[in-house]
Amino acid sequence: MHKDYFSLNQKGFTLIELVSVMIIMGVVASVSIQKFDIVSNTANERALITAIKELNVRESLVWSNMKISEDGYTNDEDLWTLMQTDLAGYNWGTGEPTRVGGGTLSFNTASKSLSRQQSTPAAAGKWQ
């Protein structure tokens, strides 16, 4: 009695099919990891751009509040003193920002060196 182990009704995948699927999955994984890295870096840069815009809005708000107060706008130094509490929520890298020089703002892997245009009685300061 001889059993036929290789009948035509066997079901399963061949080694070539399994290896082909593994190669395809590897290629898809490597491409998706690269795309994720690009998206992550873009998101960090966008977050930094948004933070700079928010920083400018905060400075304009402090300047406006100063202008409509009873004392009015006095000078950039007083405005900077009021701004110090608003700057606390940002990551300034190695040091705190200065009134004249600006500072380096960072978020995760993205960072940008900013300069500050001082406030005048006619316009609020601007971070660039």
- Domain contains 4: no
Give CA separation, 91 vs 39, 85, 110, 111, in Å.
Answer: 21, 14, 11, 9
* Owning domain of residue 104: 15-127
Provide φ and ψ at 116, rounded to 5°.
-120, 125
The number of domains in the chain is 1
In a domain, 8, yes or no: no
Is 9 a member of any domain?
no
Q: What is the pLDDT of residues 44-88, one digit of tens each?
A: 888 888 888 988 998 899 999 999 999 888 888 888 888 877 777
**Residue 52, φ and ψ in degrees, nearest 5:** -65, -40
| Residue 106 is assigned to a structural domain of this protein | yes
Distance CA 89, CA 83 (A): 12
- Predicted confidence (pLDDT) per residue in 84-124, tens digit: 777 777 888 777 788 888 888 888 888 888 888 999 999 99
Alpha carbon distance 44, 107 (integer Å)? 6
